[in-house]
Amino acid sequence: MSSIWKKPADLEVINQFSLDGLVGLLGMKVIAITHDTMTASMPVDERTTQALGLLHGGASAALLETIASVAANWSVGDDAYCVGVELNINHLSAKKDGHVEATAKALRLGSTIQVWSVDIVDEAGAMVASGRMTMAVRQH
């Protein structure tokens, strides 16, 4: 099977690329790469929960957008970059502690539009959220 990645699929490089800003503040980290998926983790703690102590929907959405964006940008050559144009997410179950993992898989890798499906699961593999991210592909 051939890989969809146009840039080296190196976890250290990828994590250095996206550690600043919200990603670092929320403790997100890319943890796995296959030939066609990329997975990131995020802790469920005081940084990512809402007033009732549950995983904040906005934190889940940020994780979904982050892993889809990183994956999209790794799937294009150095002459292009991807930016988000649409995000949808369904919150399926509550989570109070531990961590969650989001796995992005491309549904379409077009020359101007990409669509990524992302599932967010808990440590036991139970679905916490699911969504899609549409990315515009732009040339440098």
pLDDT at 1: 81
Active-site annotation holds for 46:
no
Q: Report if residue 96 sits inside a domain.
A: yes
The C-alpha atoms of residue 140 and residue 129 are separated, in whole angstroms, by 33
pLDDT at 19: 74
Q: Report if residue 48 sits inside a domain.
A: yes
The C-alpha atoms of residue 75 and residue 82 are separated, in whole angstroms, by 9
Q: Report if residue 2 sits inside a domain.
A: no
Q: Report if residue 53 sits inside a domain.
A: yes
Residue 74 near residue 6 (C-beta atoms within 8 A)? yes
Residue corresponding to tokens 């940084």: 47
CA count, 13 A, side-chain hemisphere, 7: 19
pLDDT at 29: 96
Sheet hosting strand 80-91, strand order edge to edge: 29-33, 37-43, 99-109, 113-121, 127-139, 80-91
Per-residue pLDDT of the chain (140 residues; tens, 9 = 90+): 899 999 998 999 999 887 779 999 999 999 999 999 999 999 999 999 999 999 999 999 999 999 999 999 999 999 999 999 999 999 999 999 999 999 999 999 999 999 999 999 999 999 999 999 999 999 99
What is the separation, in whole angstroms, between the first and last Cα of the chain?
29
Q: Report if residue 1 sits inside a domain.
A: no
Q: Report if residue 18 sits inside a domain.
A: yes
Active-site entry in 65, 86, 101, 123: 65
**DSSP string of the chain, one letter each residue:** -----SS---HHHHHHHT-STHHHHTT-EEEEE-SSEEEEEEE-STTTB-TTSSBPHHHHHHHHHHHHHHHHHHTS-TTEEEEEEEEEEEE-S---SSEEEEEEEEEEE-SSEEEEEEEEE-TT--EEEEEEEEEEEEE-
The strand pair at 37-43 and 127-139 is best described as unpaired
Q: Report if residue 3 sits inside a domain.
A: no
Q: What is the CATH number of the domain that holds 42?
A: 3.10.129.10
pLDDT at 33: 97
